[in-house]
Amino acid sequence: MITLMEKPAAAPSAWPAWFQAEQSAALAEYEKLPVPVRKVESWRFANLKALDLSVFVDANPVASEGRLINASTGLKDTAAKLILGNNALLHRETGSLPKGVILETLESAAANHTELFKKYFMAQPVELGSRKYAALHKARVAGGAFLYVPANTNVELPIELFQWVEGANASVFPHTLIVCGENSRVTVVDYFKSADHLPALACGVNDLHLARGAKLTYISVQDWSRETTAFHLNSTIVDREATATALIANFGGAFIRGESLSRLVGEGSRSEMYSINPVEGTREIDQRTLQDHVAPNATSDLLYLNALDDKSRTIFAGLIKVQPGAAGTDAYQKVKNLILSDDADPNSMPGLEILNDEVRCSHGATNGPVSADELFYMEARGIPADKARRLIVNGFFNSLVERLENTPLRQHLENLLAARLAIG
């Protein structure tokens, strides 16, 4: 058994030597940085017990490669598909990609497109609390997905990425790096899945870069086993007139720490940050967000929906930051908690820091139960209470899914959601 703190003995690395050196430095940083404490504002309310990672070990190569490839199904029509399992490439289909689009593992990108890789790989500082886990990620990242869409290229059909974990206490380090050139368009669906019901560690990073006028729709369908501890650290950089839409669906995991930073660096840029989180049992979703308005006349819109059952917990800590130069900012932030049980524990900290007076800015947080009137209406029509409740939860989340413009994509997500909530 190899623990995370040790370098795998004989595993040959596919990374170039210069990157291996950076990985050694990152491991030293991981060891040096302290485990977070609740006194630090970015870990307020957090469950620190989940941060004991001592049981997790390096993942072996996947045993059921064929089964995982067959189970990697999503949309009917896609432009390309990349399937990774336990930090290694399992399968790649890039037949329908327009010319110039690059979709490959990070390791090959580091070798074949070194300049691009160096420019964009983990180029953003980790600001929302998880520097230690970002260092761990960098130290151990392998496989991963690198997508580059050149300027003025429109990838019409969505691209799908599947990142699997297999084995007891296996640790994976999924990474999705998307670089959108000027005026390019692309849609990516990123699935995070477990091959079994076993405990695992996922420590992932997603970096999205949008050049001027680009349009990116990024959907993350996180469906780890209900025993998984996961960190998902996302950053999105949006330049002039570009539009980023990111929707994160957290269907699985025992403990999920999500950090999403969106930085609006170009005038007239737009960032939409959405999340849907059905939680039950003792599952816990801890999400921290930052809408950082650097450039003037940019828009950001955040909507996070949580439905909490049983003894589940959620933490939402969001911040809208309007920098002194960001006149004409439109920024919105809202978290809604639908409470399905007396033992559920939702915590909301929607924050604002406004350093310019030319802004339209609002935030809100609501907590409330399922409406008794709606339940009564359905029960009066012969729908059992339990199903009626699930239908209401489904409607609650669908109000957000409806915002997606792409019809097949929207329907696909509606189906995934209905399956997740066992509505048939």
Q: Which residues bind to another protein, rule: CB under 8 A?
A: 39-41, 44-45, 324, 327, 337, 339-370
**Three-state DSSP string of 367-405:** EEECCHHHHHHHHHCCCCHHHHHHHHHHHHHHHHHCCCC
Q: How far is the CB of 153 from another protein (least distance, A)?
A: 39
| In contact, 395 and 403? CB cutoff 8 Å | no
At 123, the amino acid letter reads: A
Q: How far is the CB of 152 from another protein (least distance, A)?
A: 37
Cα end-to-end span (Å), the chain: 43
Q: How far is the CB of 339 from another protein (least distance, A)?
A: 4
Nearest to another protein of 3, 341 (CB atom):
341
Residue with tokens 């917990």, as numbered in its chain: 313
| In contact, 107 and 141? CB cutoff 8 Å | no
Nearest to another protein of 372, 380 (CB atom):
372
Q: How far is the CB of 330 from another protein (least distance, A)?
A: 11
Q: How far is the CB of 117 from another protein (least distance, A)?
A: 37
Q: How far is the CB of 173 from another protein (least distance, A)?
A: 30
Nearest to another protein of 116, 327 (CB atom):
327
Q: How far is the CB of 280 from another protein (least distance, A)?
A: 13
d(CA 420, CA 243): 29
Nearest to another protein of 33, 102 (CB atom):
33
| In contact, 273 and 220? CB cutoff 8 Å | no
Nearest to another protein of 39, 99 (CB atom):
39
Nearest to another protein of 116, 354 (CB atom):
354
Residues 6+ apart with CB under 8 A from 286: 45, 46, 47, 255, 256, 257, 258, 313, 314, 315
Give the DSSP H or E segment for 239: none
d(CA 208, CA 223): 21
Nearest to another protein of 72, 130 (CB atom):
130
